[in-house]
Structure 1
Amino acid sequence: EEWSVISLSLIVSGQVTVTQTPREITFQPQDTVVLNCRTSSGIQSNLLAWYQQKPGEAPKLLIYDINSRYTGTPERFSGSGSRGGSVFTLTISSIQAEDAGDYYCQSVHYISSSYVFTQ
């Protein structure tokens, strides 16, 4: 049986902290994996995205507007959360070995009359 690892990161962008949990997941193919993203401030509208990054590659957009799949994103990836909220999830159903990598949520906030983009 093949096992792979997904790791996540803590991202701090000025006035907003984005915390992803769990930090690392070990899984077997066909498992369902849930990744969590919490922002220290509510997002602007529905501006929350999920990216996948593999070693040596640029990040690839998977989900935008909280729950919309980007072109080419497999249906096993799904996002959830509320407009203006601060808690979001990325669910990978029937995960595959090829899904191993780093996953990041990226958010946009409107704070003190200016936009803040996490990165």
Structure 2
Amino acid sequence: MSKNIKFIVFIFCALVSLQSCQHILDQAEEKRAQENFTSEFMGNYTGSYSGDVSGSLAINVRKDASVEVSRGVTGGSDSYLTHLIMSSFNTTTKSSQGFMLIGNMQTKKGTWEMGNLKGTWTVTKN
């Protein structure tokens, strides 16, 4: 192999190697950012929901913005896990009974749906 071809192959391998290293560094930086993230809404909230049916409401926002929503119903409770997207609830997740909050934690209020039933909710931070 001529010296020029060897040099070109060497440069190519070095560039591919550097690009792979940068990708690994980017992944490590993203993981650190996720580990250091704390939702500004972290904490426990209590309140109520009303409308077609009514009851008590408890929301626990975790450090990573995952959320446990629990509502009091006659004879028990109904709960589900979801996430906040910015300050708003991820509306693709519902409880086993079909209950879902719509709204955000910035205003601490919103609407709820459960099949054809609807209403409003509000909470305060404990």
> Quick check: which one's helix share is greater?
2
Question: TM-score with structure 1 length normalisation?
Answer: 0.32
Bigger radius of gyration among the two: 2
* Greater RCO, 1 or 2 (C-alpha within 8 Å, sep 6+): 1
Higher fraction of strand: 1
